[in-house]
Amino acid sequence: MLDFKIKEVFSALWKTKEFMLFRFLIYFGITIGYIIGTGTGAGIGWSVGSVAGGEDGSATGLMYGMFGGFAIVSGVLYYVREYLLYMVKAGHIAVILKHLDGEEIPSGKGQIAYAQSIVKERFKEASVLFAVDQIIKGVVKFITRLFSGIMTFLPFIPKPIVSLSILSSEIQ
């Protein structure tokens, strides 16, 4: 018995297309952040390298600055990106459920503003769910890596099974 109606799913997604655009803008902003961070690091590295070591030092400083800028931006944006997209996903799910239940968004409010109000009402639950989601991801990754590590030491287990377990840990 299939209780999955593809037409309703696509209809709900089409009705919430503003969220797709919003996610695109978030990813675009993250990309701009990486470009600015890497470029700033490269500029600082080039400046320090040219003062410290001449022409050879400026190229080396440029490289270290680029890697340093990229690493700093990656460290800062990892959890910010995860949390921001999780909150957008929570709002998107709330609006999709309203559409599937046949409820209308209150007039004079956009979907994103309406979803923000729903998420703010349940902010504690959403924040706790984000933390639990991160913990579960970490535990699943640890267990699959442990399992694949143990399986590589056991010679009687076929190698395709080991490869499959490693692949499944990479996907999650």
At 66 the pLDDT is 92
Token readout for 90 is 């929570």
User: Cα dist. 21→25, 93, 123 in Å?
Assistant: 6, 15, 23
Q: Print burial letters for 108-121: b (CB count within 10 Å at least 16), e (below 16).
A: eeebbebbbebbee
Distance CA 33, CA 77 (A): 9
Token readout for 113 is 């503003």
DSSP code of 122? T
What is the mean pLDDT of each successive set of 10 residues along the chain, which is 172 residues long? 70 80 89 93 88 76 90 89 80 80 73 78 72 83 80 64 52 51
At 155 the pLDDT is 64
DSSP alpha helix (H) spans, the chain: 6-15, 17-100, 111-121, 123-153, 159-171
- How far is C-alpha 130 from the chain's CA centre? 12
At 119 the pLDDT is 76
